[in-house]
Each structure stands twice: as C-alpha cells, then as structure tokens.
Chain A
Amino acid sequence: MEIDQHPYGDVLRKEMMPNIWCSGCRIGRIKNTFIESIQQLGYDADKCSVVSGIGCSSRIAGYLNLDTIHATHGRAIPTALGVKLANPELKVCVMGGDGDILGIGGNHFLALGRHGYDMNVFCMNNFGYSMTGFQHGPTTPLGARTITTSGGSPYAPINPVAVALAAGYTFVARSTSGHPYHLIDCMVAAMKNRGPSFIEILVPCMLYERRNKIKSLEALFLEKARIKETLSEEDIDQSDFMKTISLGIFRDAPVREKPPLAMVSSKKKAAAKKFNIKFKPRASGIKYMQIRMEGTGGQGIVQGGKTMILAAMNMDPKLNSTLTKRYGPEMKGGSCVTDVLLSSQSIDYPFVEVPDLLLMMSDIVAKERDGRVIIDNKGTIVVDESMVDLRLLENVAKTVKIFKVPATKIARENFRVVVANNVLMGFVCRVTSIIDKDCLRTAILKSAPPGTEEMNLEAFESGYKFVSQ
C-alpha cells in the first residue's frame, strides 16, 4: 500500500488509518509535528511513550505506533506519572485537550508542576469540549457561543500558560497549529528540558467556527499571531485572542535542585534497650469468656484489647479469640468499645452480648445507654475510679465484684496519660488472674512503639502493685 512508503510510516499505526477527525481539523498536524520532533531528536520508538485521556486530541495516542495508553477522562497525567515512575528512562508525553488536561484533570495538571517529574504535557486548546458537540469548557472565550451557552459564555476563560507558569513548570510555551515549524522547535526544546514541560497549542475547531460564525480560525491565527524571541508579562494574557496572540517560549529553566529532606537527616535514635521476658504456655481453662473494654477514644482502648488478645493467644495456643472494635467518627474523645472473646471452641458470633469482665476506663459509653451498665450477674467490673462516676455502679454493686483503680491518675502523675491502659491492665492481671503476667508483658513489648517499652512496662508494674484502700 502507498501508506507503507510514507516517511512517518514507522511511527504510524497504519491499520488505524485513515483517521477520524473532522475535515479541516488540524489535530492531525500536531501528530505530524510530534513525529517530526521525535525523528529530529533521534528517539528510539521503544523509549518513547504517549499517554492520552479522552477527547478529540487524545485520539493521537491511537494513531502512533509507540507504547501508548488511552487513559480515562482527565487522568492522563496520573497514568503517565505511573509510567514514568515504573521506567524513568522512558520519554513520556501527555497528549490531551483543554477539557481533559485543564478541565477535568486540572488538579493533576497543577500537581505535576509541583512534583517536578520529567514529563511533557502537550495541551491542544480548541476552546471547549468538542468531541461531544462543543459544550462550554474552561478555556471558552468570554462571549463565545457553545451548545450550553447559547447566549455567549458568561465566564472569563482560564489562561493555561499563566496557570502553568504559576504551578512551577520548567518549560512553558505557546504555539498554534498554523505554525508547525515553530511547534517542532518548541516540542524539541520541551523534550530536552529535564523538568515538567507544558505547551499550549491553539487548534481551530470546526464546530466553534460554525457556532460563532468565524470563517477560518486558522487564517485568524496566521494573521494575528506573532512569534516573539523575548516575551513580556503582557504577552501571557490572551483573553482577547481575536486581536493579538503572542507565541513563543515563556520559560525554559533548569530543574531546581532539591534540598536534602529535613526528616531524613535528623539524628538516629539511640538503640532501644532490649528486654528479655520468657513465659511458659499453659492451658488456661477458659471455656467461653466475654471481655469488654469501654472508654473514650484516645485512652488506648483498642490497644488494650489488642494487648489482651495477644497475651491470651501466647498463653494458650489452643484458645480461639476474636477482637471487635467499635468507635465513632470522632476518634479522639468519642465513645469507644472493644470486644474480646476467648473460647476453647470455634467462635460463631464475634460480638460480646453480656460481658463477664468489664473494664471501664470512662463512663461515656454507659451514659450513652442512659446510665445502664451491662454485666453478667457473676461478672467482674474493673473501674478507673479517676474517670468514672461511681454512682452508675450502684445498681449492680450487690451481685458483681467491683475493683477500683485510679489508673489515669497514676499514669498522669508518674508517667504519661497514654499509658493508663497498661496501668489498668496490670491491675486486672493481679485481681482476676485470667492471663499470666509474663504473657501480658510480652504482648505490651510487642505492641508498644519503639523507645517507649520501658515506660509501658513500668506503668504495667505500678498497676500490678497497686493495692486499693
């Protein structure tokens, strides 16, 4: 076939040709200039990748015989970033329209300038969403008629070049489809730049011309556009593009060198003291035990439940157990409940119905239930008396055993408030003797953040030694 002898034939996907764009559309020419620029730079087709989103201009990826991805709408830049991170040697180019890159993917466009990866964004600006019949988009000029703004667009357009300059792109240029040789120069310079590059390419849309009764936008570009060597701040503005268009390279800067990261260079912590605790597994004799911890968020309720279940599993490997935590969206200060089930048989229902052992670190949960304390008749309650209103327990005081410990007060006076759960755990360990002391200590060591093991263990000891008056 004749197309096989075409000089661009190596880079074109011939089975997809002829292309789908409208008669008179100039997007195909951008494809040609891209092919020319990669041929000029001598890039290997295997080292070049094109990612595009959805839209008229995003069809370019389908016609190029490179490694291309046709991504979802507006997500061309994140997809390209993934390609770049996976293989930094690739030359990644993003082709897209103004609706794709500036409208729907606008935030990704801003973020790329901040991240500073070596990627090229070629934005074909045709003043609206032309693929679906020309709706109003972010770059539609003020007063332009589209399907959705039949009386003229009431909003001022955003200026892509100004946004790119503000976002920190190291290469920013503007060109039109009517100046393909200038565009090739811009593309070559953009691909040589080691930072994020952005080129705004003005492309005429036949639908825009028809709706706004312009004879030929291409002729208008050729007539009004001026290619300038040095551009001033006034040239950035193109809101009145029917009068003047300034083309050229607005910025071609080297990539900023990143300062060393402050977090990484901080001093290393001294190696934590190692604790050596040994324990012997033994049969616990528990048939079915329901344990509930109640309190407010931030007291370590979930952490306490985790410590307890870990210790129980260490002590008796045959024991089955579940941990269920419930807390509201208000993690710090809201009500928080942790249910722990220990059973010698398999557990069917993971929630506690009537707890055998209730650990109350706060009365907020009981107050939410109108002051009712749910506990088995032969159960045990361990109360943090510095936090709980003891009048709540008067109804159940006749049948159940109640142990009181000012865990939060001890933790606040001797250590920090965050270890109050370990103080309570130490007290529980002595008064109930469900779980061995050494097992609990091992579990605390495992779950404590590095550097705080000693404090946690001391808190546990002080709770263990506490004798209520």
Chain B
Amino acid sequence: MRIELFKRPQHSVFYTVASPFIALALMIVFGALVFALAGKNPATGLYLYFVEPLTELWSLHELAVKASPLILIAAGLSVAYRANNWNIGAEGQFIMGGVFGAALPILFPAFQNVATLPLMLLFGTLGGMAWGAIPAFLKNRFNANEILTSLMLVYVASLLLDWLARGWFRDPQGYAFPGSIRLPAAASLPDIAPSQGSAHWGLAISIAVAVALWLVMGRTIKGFEVKVMGASPRAGRYAGFSAASMTWFSFLLSGGLAGLAGIAEVSGAIGQLRETISPGYGFTAIIVAFLGRLNPLGAIVAAFVLALTYLGGEAAQMTLGISDKLARVFQGMLLFFVLACDTLIHYRIRLVGTQKA
C-alpha cells in the first residue's frame, strides 16, 4: 500500500472551507487519545480544554485578552505569508513594540494627558516596524534569508528586553526586582467592562485592523499585488510589481502589527514592562495564520481557538493535574493537521496497492 496524489483540475472549494474543521476534529481525537493515555477521562479533559472556558463571563474575558494579540499578529502574518515573505520573527517584533511603546511613560512619567496612549500605540507600532525592517533590508540589499534573520532577531529582542527590565527601565523604587514602574491610568488601555472581567480595548483594535486588512486584500489593487507576487513572482514582475517593495510592505505591515500587539499587551493586560511579556504569542500566531487560511477574517476565528488552548491548559492543570505544557503540544499538532488537510484542496489522495511494474 502506498499513498498517491492526483492533481485536481481545479482546487476543491469544499476542502478549502472544510480543511481547518477536519484538522480541528483530528486534534480533538488526538487530544482524547492523549488524555486516555495519561489515565484521565477523555471527555473530562476535552470538556476542560474546549468547553469550560466558554461557560463563565470572567473566562470569556480572559479568552479575549489572549485572542487579541493573536488576531493582530496573525492578520499581519497572513498577508506576509500570502506574499511569500516568511516573517517568523513576530515574537521579536512584539517585544520591541512593547519596549518602544512603554518607553514613553517609563522615561517621561510626568507626561500624562490624552495624547499619551495614542503616542504609545504609535511608538509601539513603529518599534515593531523597525525590528521587522531589519530582515526586509537584509533580504533586499544582501539577499540574506529572511526566515533565519528574523528568527535570530527574536533572541536579540528578548535579551534586550531582559536588560532593559533589569537595568535602564527598572523601577527605582522596585527593591531591585526586575520590571518597570506600574503604568499610570493615562498610559493604560482601558478595560471594556471593568466590573465583569479583564478584556481591554485592544480586542476592538485587533478586530478592526483584521477587518480592514481583509478589505485591503479583497478589494484593492494592493491586495491583488500581494496575491500575485505570492502565487507567481514572475507574473508579478511582468505586471510591473516589485519584489523588493513587496518584501518591505510585508515586513513593515506584519512587524508593525506585531509591535502594536506588543504595546497593547503591555499597556492593556500586563500594566508594566517585565523581563518577559509574551507566552510565545509571536509563534502561536503563525499557527493562527495558517488555521485561518491566511485570511485576516479567518485569523479572528482561529485566534479564539488557539486562545482557548491556552486557557484550557491552565484549567486542565488545576483540575486534572495535567501539565499546561500539553497546550503547546496541541497547538503544534493542530498546525500539522491543518497543513496535511490542505493537501486535499489541490490533490485527490488515493491508496494504491503496490504492484510490480
């Protein structure tokens, strides 16, 4: 027996829609298997992971807090990946967004007025853009592989943040603990409904940006350019599009949005600059982007699914005593299943018995 692929004359519309759902179903089967192997009741485990976080108001708020950065980063990455520009350093751009944005209230604590928060969001976006500009520049100017350079800069960014949180940006009254001052109210993204839970207005920004990007991709010449350059760079060249400026566009956009997500997280969710500000959002967002079919609207839905695994991991650890690291395994498996199912869009899969030729 072996598996053979047969090219479909046209790509399958059915599987384009169905493939992420098949992938999710496979992940749930796999999850049940893991719980059974760990000697836990699979139904309880799956309930804790995928249902319980949805049953209470405060945990819905937590879900929104986790989904918000994922939406923003993944929407940008969707566009970059569509254009065949592999920015995998969003984690570093997220960190630099937090650093640049938070620098304003930390270095000028007296500057508190209506302009503080908008300026912070702007600086955060610029910080992410600046960090994303490095791999774009190195790719265009020196032909250096953007996958490797953008990833290396993640390590550099997290070391830089570590140094700032323990040194220059440290709270002088913080008894030598790492971390900046608590951000004042004027520098904090307000909560949507403070009496009910922790969700902040970053979620609204994320959704608005994702919808705007979806419109850009579907309705504008820029969106067309992104798709053409990704599908066929040669056709794009004949149409007069430039690969170099597409690289700039992809990295500035995805870097800027990752930076915006970073400052929104620091100012809305954490409330200070710490030595680490991300539980791997920049990497999880890669999974979100693919699960959302590299479509900014899809990213919104996919981000909530992935946010659910973060919360489910915590719930399962508290209730069943299963390590919350299992959530990372689920996330990784999900991407595998999505990629495998995507083959069905372009190919028929047949099992063929081996015969002597």
Are A and B associated in one complex?
no
What residues make up the interface of B, taking CB atoms closer than 8 Å to A?
A: none
